[in-house]
Amino acid sequence: MASRVLILYAGGTIGMARADDGYRPMTGFEDVLRRLLREQVAAVLPDFDVVALPEPIDSANLQPSHWTGLARELVVRWQSYDGFVVLHGTDTMAYSASALSFMLRGADKPVIFTGAQIPLGEPDSDALGNLLGALTLAGRHGIPEICLYFSGRLLRGNRSTKLKSEAFDAFESPNYPHLADVGADIALYADALLAPATRAFVVPQFDAEAVAVLPVYPGISARIVDAITGSPRVRGLVLRTYGVGNAPDAQQAFMDSLARATGRGLVVLNTTQCVSGHVIQGTYATGAALDRIGVLPGGDMTLEAAFAKLHFVLATNSDADVVRRALGESLCGEVS
C-alpha cells in the first residue's frame, strides 16, 4: 500500500512571491505546489494532500501560540497519514521543530519541517529540492521523530539550528549526528534515531511572556537582569553564557540580581553562546558560582531547544521541583 503524507503549509519564504515592498505570501500557493509536485514524474513520491493554515505565518512573526496551532493541525489528522511535511519559514523553523518535539513526544510517524531560502517560483530556488527530499523521507521511511530537512540533511528537530542566513545549507545539528543524508541515494542512520516510545501528546497553551533570553556580554549590569526578570509573567530565563557556562561572577551586583530571581522561583537555564559544546558549570569558578545560586545547566542544548523546552515545561507544570527535574532530563533526545 502506498504511503500517504500530509503537507501542511504554515508559511515562509517557500510560498512567497515578489511584491512592491518585498516578498509576501503567494496567492494560490497550494495549487501551485500540487501542480509542480505532480509534474515530478521521475520522482517516486508518496500520495499526498496539501492543507494550508488560514493565515500563513511570516517566520519572523512567529509566536509560541503558533506552536499550539501547528500541533493541533497534526494531531487531528494523525491517524489519517503515514507522515507529515510542515512547510515553515527558515528564521524560526528550528524553534518550531523543537517545540513540536516536546508536544508530540512518542511520535510513531515522521514529522519533517522544511522550507526554502528562495521562493518556489523563483529561478534557482532550493524549494523543490527540499520539498522532494522531505516528502520522500516522510513517505518511505519509518522515522519516529520530529525532524528538519534542508539541503540534503535530515536533522533531529530539537538539535537543529540555523547557522547561515543566505546559503542553501543553512541548517546543521552541531551536537548530534545527522539522521539521514540524501544524495543519489538515501543514507538513513538508524542508530541515531530515537527508540520507539509510548505516544504522549500534550498540546498546551503558551504564555508568550513566560520565557525570556539573556545573553551575557562584557559590562552587563544588574539593571538589565532586573528589568528582564522583574515582570511577574516571566517564569523562566534562558541564560546565554561564555564557553562551558561561565558568567561574570566578579560583578557581584549581577550575580545578586540572578540570585534574587532564582530565589523568587524563576527558573534559569544556562546555555552556551558557542555553536557546539556543553555547559559544565563546575569546570571554572565562574560557572560554579551559578550552581550556588540555583541556575540549571543546559548541557548541549541549542538555544532553540532550550527556549522551547522551558516554555513547554512551564506550560505543563506548576510545581517548581517538577519543572527543574524535567529540565535536567532528556525528554526527547534534545540533550546528551
Average pLDDT of the residues in 12-24: 81
Same domain, residue pair 270 and 152: no
Indicate whether 192 and 215 sit together in one domain.
no
Across the strands, what pairs with 272?
Answer: 241
Q: Look at residue 94 in the predicted model and tell me its pLDDT.
A: 98
**64 part of a folded domain:** yes
- Are residues 32 and 92 both part of a single domain? yes
Residues 196 and 225 in one domain: no
C-alpha cell at 148: 528538519
HSE-up of 150 (CA within 13 Å, CB side)?
34
Domain that holds residue 283: 211-327
- Judge contact between 83 and 3, C-beta under 8 A: yes
Report the CATH number that the domain containing residue 96 is assigned in CATH: 3.40.50.1170
> Over pLDDT 90: what percentage of the chain?
79
- For the cut 60, the answer to whether the pLDDT of residue 29 exceeds it is yes
Residues 52 and 11: beta-carbon distance below 8 Å: no
The residue from 166, 201, 236 where one domain ends is: 201
pLDDT of residue 41: 58
- Number of structural domains found in the chain: 2
C-alpha distances (whole Å) from 54 to each of 17, 69, 169, 217 are: 18, 11, 30, 41
**pLDDT tens digits for 167-203?**
999 999 999 999 999 988 899 999 999 998 999 999 9
Domain match, 150 and 246 both: no
Whether the pLDDT of residue 144 is over 70: the answer is yes
Q: 238 and 180, same structural domain?
A: no
pLDDT of 27 reads 76
Q: Are residues 115 and 139 located together in one domain of the fold?
A: yes
In a domain, 53, yes or no: yes
Across residues 236-244, what is the average pLDDT? Answer: 96
Find cell 537582569 and name the residue.
Answer: 225
Task: Respond yes or no: is residue 316 known to be catalytic.
Answer: no
33-55 mean pLDDT: 84
Mean pLDDT across 151-174: 96
Q: Does residue 162 sit in the same domain as residue 89?
A: yes
For residues 294-317, give the mean pLDDT. 97
| Residue 164, amino acid | K
pLDDT tens-digit series, residues 81-104: 999 999 999 999 999 999 999 999
Examine the fold and report which residue of 201, 229, 246 is the final residue of a domain before the chain moves on.
201
Read off the CATH number of the domain in which 295 is found.
Answer: 3.40.50.40
Residues 222 and 143 grouped into a single domain? no
Q: Which residues share a beta bridge with 214?
A: 239
Contact 49, 7 (CB under 8 A): yes
* 174 plus 285 within the same structural domain: no
Q: What pLDDT is stored for residue 42 in this prediction?
A: 56
Residue labelled with grid coordinates 532564582: 262
Predicted TM-score (pTM) above 0.75:
yes
pLDDT band at 331 (very low <50, low <70, confident <90, very high): very high
Of 141, 175, 201, which marks where a domain is finished? 201
Q: What CA–CA distance (Å, rounded) separates 331 from 310?
A: 12
125 with 22, same domain: the answer is yes
Residue 271: exposure state from Cβ atoms within 10 A (0-12, 13-18, ≥19): buried
Q: Which of 135, 161, 152 is nearest to 188 (CA)?
A: 152
What are the pLDDT digits (tens) for 5-16? 999 999 998 988
Contact 196, 275 (CB under 8 A): no
The whole-chain average pLDDT of the chain stands at: 93
Residue-wise over 100-124: b if at least 16 C-beta within 10 A, else e? bbbbbbebebbbbbbbbbbbbbbee
Mean pLDDT of all residues in 296-312: 97
State the CB neighbour count (10 A cutoff) for residue 186.
Answer: 15
Q: Does residue 335 sit within a domain?
A: no
Whether residue 183 is found in the same domain as residue 231: no
Instruction: Name the β-bridge partners of 51.
Output: 8
Whether 186 maps to a domain, the answer reads yes
Q: Which percentage of the chain shows pLDDT scores above 70?
A: 98
